A and B are shown apart, each in its own frame.
Chain A
């Protein structure tokens, strides 16, 4: 081998390089003509390219030097290195020119056939695949150039030098795609439109063509630039085309079809477009494509949707509603309006349901009322679950609507009392939990009680519920009419779960009192040497039960006196220091009527009735005063009780007239009393009492509230010391969960507390209160 002359190194090499290139070019031709290249040939070409680059450093020492040179690039006057640079550039340029020429030829082939659409795509993609394959081979052959010269250039910051594989892509972009881009894109769009119109098209072609756009984004670019070719040449046009297509389609579709049909169509179209993303579009298009489609298919027709929504609700078209939801949910703002529509709808349906069961009636049947509420709730709870995917916005709409119509409706308006719902709900619970209730046996009480809790959650004035529930529970427990003690316990713990310990503490205490009383009775019977048949006592904790302490006088009948005393002694022994007061008005007894042979009756009586009737064991006729002095009952009450007994035909008055007072009359036992029933319940509540009780309960709740508000204000102020008016209001409203006090009532409480000097206003800041220790 001749060695290059130091004086003229380039001239020497030029000749060799031409030879190398000539050989290499033959190989590259083979590559791009897709001729079969075996391994040996491949290696040959590789070393040829290598030799081309390495030739400049022909002598062996220099070759060994090469890595060192890279490490010391600053060493001046290294001709060899400069030569290598030059040589690299030479080869790089030649390859570049070669590719340009090659692509020009290919392009001309496509152009001259004047191909359109699918055929054009076929050719384009064919060329692309071939070119890609060949370029990969070429890249392999030029690996040495890539690894050294190109790498160094790029490290030096020259971004216009690419690895050969990338160079090939750049050349493709420049000499193939750029001139053809509009044709290719148009071809793709035509195919897509055909597909949208239901024609079967070769999606493989589209996929490859689009992929060619995507792959032209080069490695190592910033992510937003990577898809530049794709975005500029294709995506942009595609999105515009899509918008246009669906604008036309949706408006013409809506002209010919009802909205529900359109919903189906829009849903189908959206799904198709999303599938399109999966099939051949780049993933990056998905978001914008969806946005554009939703805008054209949904947002532009929202007004129409909203109008239809109400119709759908009216006709219970749950599937269509679900479809509409799925479309509108894609818009960030669309749901709010649907939510309002739904809320109003539920509310008006609820109000109508209540009206149907309560309009024009004096008293509403609790069972029907609760049933009506539950039906509406269930219906729309199901709707929200199935059609609205339990979306929190719609759950909220349901809650708001239920709260509205369950608390304020025609029933509550009729009696002008928003506490009507809790009252009826408590009464319904009583129907459920009372023995002999008319709830059919097949129904699962526990699940019905759970339904009750559904409504309970929406009740605003929970304090009213508690008051009624407590008084009805007391009756059930005292009269032993609970259907099941376990269920009573379950219901109490349900309430506790919802409202906390404080809310149910009295109920709980009543419940446990009943249990302890049973034990107590057992022990009492053990205590007595001879058991007393039919005698039982309940000991109720003071303050927990809704019974006022007895104030009226009453003489226990002598017949019972002995047991009365015995129990008192017994209880004193058990718990010294506790004081028993007897609630005679809650006590009951059973009397046997056996005036005529073979005709015995059993009377269930109140204690007061008992005390009167027992007198007649001694003689058959008394004056009013005699009875009064024996029983010590207050005359007005005695009068009522006697009248009731007369109405049962057990007693009769001497004159037999009704209406006026009995004070001047003789009261006789009705010896002719007869009845078909053996057991007769005389212990009916006095008629006037029942109605009054309801009103009284409401009244006492109202009175308690003022105290509750005052107590709460004091507690907050004690905690905060100083608080602005508005913050105090907010805090009170926030803390009081069992009812919603009006602002006026809170202000009233504040006024009272200022007057009582618990709090006062801060000087010169009239809207700030401070706690007075």
Chain B
């Protein structure tokens, strides 16, 4: 009895899930079925995996043909800097900006960062031919239209915590000056505001603190640990472990913020 029931309800929701998957990923039914079954019929997870490696799951005949390496090369040539074999932000020939505009990607949005991460862009402001072609192959796109669709779905790529962590780690390298070891404060603040928006309850406070602080740059360690801090800390700092292994800047932030928290003052007085 139990088996029967669950099977029945399961098959109903499976159909619904396949439909939803197809809608989200713009793929065919075969792909949807395959990807969902591999990932245990969990829609979110399956979507994430699909977006991180669409070719692996592509099962629809139509879909495979659609990615055309030649078209990608043509696309690259449309935007590339005539003097160099890259798409760049060179002021004379701002190929990058044009490219982003055409695929409807806001340069200052988190999506632009996710897109760069998916392409594996090594140096801010330039996309090499290799990055471009491999990246677009991986995304399964060979036209502006497909890119537009894909770009609108970029949020899915960082939905998984592990993926977000990877992405966050990437933004450090991406944001810093090539050759520099650490990330300058200005760049760090700008990136945090984009990347951690909506994920770090104390983001504004953090940025205010760091801007006031006499630290000129952020180390990779501090950068990485801030993510853990951002994702675990309560906005009243109550769960902060003073004896923990946090980098010193985070300790100082907590010390700085504690007396500024209005709620902490009232709770301590009511406690006593």
Interface residues of chain A, those whose CB is within 8 Å of chain B, are: 725-726, 744, 747-748, 750-751, 754-755, 760-761, 766-769
Question: Known contacts being A755-B182, A755-B221, A761-B221, is A766 close to B245, with CB within 8 Å?
Answer: yes
Pick the residue among B181, B182, B225, B248 that contacts A748 (CB under 8 A): B248
28 contacts between A and B (CB under 8 A): A725-B244, A725-B245, A744-B248, A744-B251, A747-B251, A748-B248, A750-B245, A751-B219, A751-B221, A751-B222, A751-B247, A754-B219, A754-B221, A755-B181, A755-B182, A755-B219, A755-B220, A755-B221, A760-B221, A761-B221, A761-B224, A761-B245, A766-B225, A766-B228, A766-B245, A767-B245, A768-B245, A769-B245
A744 to chain B, nearest CB (A): 6
- Cα A747 to Cα B251 in complex, Å, equals 10
- Cα A761 to Cα B247 in complex, Å, equals 11
**Contact bitstring B180-195, A, C-beta under 8 A = 1, else 0:** 0110000000000000
By CB atoms of chain B within 10 A, which of A748, A755, A766, A769 has the most?
Answer: A766
User: Which of chain A's residues have a CB closer than 8 A to the CB of B251?
Assistant: 744, 747
B218 to chain A, nearest CB (A): 11
Contact between chains at A726 and B243 (CB < 8 Å): yes
Q: Is the interface of A mostly helix, strand, loop or mixed?
A: helix
- Cα A761 to Cα B228 in complex, Å, equals 13
B241 to chain A, nearest CB (A): 9
Q: Look across to chain A and name the residue whose beta carbon is closest to the beta carbon of B182.
A: A755
By CB atoms of chain A within 10 A, which of B222, B225, B243, B248 has the most?
Answer: B248
B163 to chain A, nearest CB (A): 15
Pick the residue among B182, B228, B247 that contacts A747 (CB under 8 A): B247
- Cα A747 to Cα B246 in complex, Å, equals 8
Pick the residue among A751, A760, A761, A766 that contacts B248 (CB under 8 A): A751
User: Which of chain B's residues have a CB closer than 8 A to the CB of A760?
Assistant: 221
User: Which of chain B's residues have a CB closer than 8 A to the CB of A766?
Assistant: 225, 228, 245
- Cα A761 to Cα B243 in complex, Å, equals 16
- Cα A61 to Cα B14 in complex, Å, equals 111
User: Which of chain A's residues have a CB closer than 8 A to the CB of B182?
Assistant: 755
- Cα A769 to Cα B228 in complex, Å, equals 16
B128 to chain A, nearest CB (A): 28
A727 to chain B, nearest CB (A): 11
Q: Look across to chain B and name the residue whose beta carbon is closest to the beta carbon of A728.
A: B245
**Contact bitstring B245-265, A, C-beta under 8 A = 1, else 0:** 101100100000000000000
A722 to chain B, nearest CB (A): 13
B266 to chain A, nearest CB (A): 29
User: Which of chain A's residues have a CB closer than 8 A to the CB of B222?
Assistant: 751
B7 to chain A, nearest CB (A): 38
User: Which of chain A's residues have a CB closer than 8 A to the CB of B225?
Assistant: 761, 766
- Cα A747 to Cα B221 in complex, Å, equals 12
The 3 closest A-B pairs by CB, nearest first: A725-B245, A767-B245, A754-B221
**8 other A-B residue contacts (CB within 8 Å) besides A751-B222, A768-B245:** A725-B245, A726-B245, A751-B247, A751-B248, A761-B221, A761-B224, A767-B245, A769-B245
User: Which of chain B's residues have a CB closer than 8 A to the CB of A768?
Assistant: 245
- Cα A755 to Cα B251 in complex, Å, equals 18
- Cα A685 to Cα B32 in complex, Å, equals 87
User: Which of chain A's residues have a CB closer than 8 A to the CB of B221?
Assistant: 751, 754-755, 760-761
Q: Look across to chain A and name the residue whose beta carbon is closest to the beta carbon of B244.
A: A767
- Cα A748 to Cα B228 in complex, Å, equals 19
B57 to chain A, nearest CB (A): 27
User: Which of chain B's residues have a CB closer than 8 A to the CB of A750?
Assistant: 245
B170 to chain A, nearest CB (A): 16
**Contact bitstring B16-34, A, C-beta under 8 A = 1, else 0:** 0000000000000000000
Mark out the residues of chain B between 147 and 173 whose CB falls within 8 Å of any chain A CB in the assembled complex. none
A161 to chain B, nearest CB (A): 73
Mark out the residues of chain B between 48 and 72 whose CB falls within 8 Å of any chain A CB in the assembled complex. none
B231 to chain A, nearest CB (A): 12
Q: Look across to chain B and name the residue whose beta carbon is closest to the beta carbon of A726.
A: B243
Q: Look across to chain B and name the residue whose beta carbon is closest to the beta carbon of A744.
A: B248
- Cα A750 to Cα B243 in complex, Å, equals 14
- Cα A766 to Cα B228 in complex, Å, equals 9
Q: Look across to chain B and name the residue whose beta carbon is closest to the beta carbon of A755.
A: B219
User: Which of chain B's residues have a CB closer than 8 A to the CB of A751?
Assistant: 219, 221-222, 247-248
- Cα A725 to Cα B228 in complex, Å, equals 16
Mark out the residues of chain B between 68 and 97 whose CB falls within 8 Å of any chain A CB in the assembled complex. none
Q: Look across to chain B and name the residue whose beta carbon is closest to the beta carbon of A729.
A: B243
- Cα A725 to Cα B220 in complex, Å, equals 18
A264 to chain B, nearest CB (A): 44
Q: Look across to chain B and name the residue whose beta carbon is closest to the beta carbon of A760.
A: B221
User: Which of chain A's residues have a CB closer than 8 A to the CB of B181?
Assistant: 755
Q: Look across to chain A and name the residue whose beta carbon is closest to the beta carbon of B221.
A: A754
Contact between chains at A747 and B219 (CB < 8 Å): no
User: Which of chain B's residues have a CB closer than 8 A to the CB of A769?
Assistant: 245
Q: Look across to chain B and name the residue whose beta carbon is closest to the beta carbon of A765.
A: B245
- Cα A751 to Cα B221 in complex, Å, equals 8
- Cα A747 to Cα B222 in complex, Å, equals 12
Q: Look across to chain A and name the residue whose beta carbon is closest to the beta carbon of B224.
A: A761
